Amino acid sequence: MDDNTIKLCKMIRNRSDENRQAIQSFPKISGVLSPAFSILRQELDSLIRVIYLLSLKNLTERRRLINSTLSGKKWKISTTKGKLKEVTDRDMIDQAQNLQGWTQSVYKFGCSFIHLSDFHNHLEKNPLSMLPELEKQNILKHMRNYHDGPLNDNPDIEELSRYLPQIFDKIASNLRCYLEQLEREESIEI
């Protein structure tokens, strides 16, 4: 295995460990909802990047992107016309969505808490009620499938917040598995 792949995996594991410590340090998640969602979003960011790397069968290209990360450069890939195109979050989410059906919902909902928006008014208005019905149902479906709840079709933010540690654990667990695959220089079919 390439030394820089080892460095990247170690860096991602360290970030994940810090994120886990941060999530666990909140005595009551509903009291720090925006920071908790930011942490989830960071963990998901690592996950979608690792999935994207695993989707690249060309190890030379994969290593080039890893080296870009370690040298502080943005990821760029060649287009069919031979030009370089920046890899966007959307590109990575689309790859991850094909593999993990829940990544888009969590990512989008998490972003609502990163960028200042009406979602930060969660003490006054339930953020879940501000989502389009289909998006809300997708989130509830995934939460029920992976975390056995919430049972209520219109959970308030207090009820939703109880599931954030479980959601974090699901993302982190998947991340650990994918990091092991990355270290073994495996690829995944998307």
Q: Measured in Å, how far apart are the chain's first and last C-alpha atoms?
A: 23
Q: What is the mean pLDDT of residues 16-37?
A: 91
Residue 113 has pLDDT above 70, yes or no: no
Quote the Cα angle for 158-162-163, to 5°. Answer: 125
Q: What is the mean pLDDT of residues 116-123?
A: 72
| pLDDT tens figures, 122-158 | 777 887 788 888 888 888 888 898 899 898 888 888 8
Give the per-residue pLDDT at 158: 84
* Six-digit token string for 90: 């959307």
In a domain, 54, yes or no: yes
Q: Which residue has the tokens 């370089």?
A: 84
Q: What is the mean pLDDT of residues 173-186?
A: 96
Q: What is the mean pLDDT of residues 13-40?
A: 91
| pLDDT tens figures, 85-97 | 999 988 998 888 7
Q: How many domains does the chain have?
A: 1
Q: How many CB atoms lie within 10 A of CB 4?
A: 16
In a domain, 190, yes or no: no
In a domain, 143, yes or no: yes
Q: Where are the beta strands (DSSP E) in the chain?
A: 76-78, 84-86
Q: What is the mean pLDDT of residues 97-102?
A: 72
The Cα 166–Cα 147 span in angstroms is 7
In a domain, 188, yes or no: no
Q: What is the mean pLDDT of the chain?
A: 88
pTM: 0.88
Q: With pLDDT > 90 as the criterion, what percentage of the chain qualifies? A: 49
DSSP tag of 76:
E
Give 134 or 119, the one with higher predicted confidence. 134
Q: What is the mean pLDDT of residues 106-131?
A: 73
The Cα 44–Cα 24 span in angstroms is 17
Lowest mean pLDDT among 59-63, 100-104, 158-162, 182-186: 100-104
Give the per-residue pLDDT at 112: 66
Domain that holds residue 37: 3-183
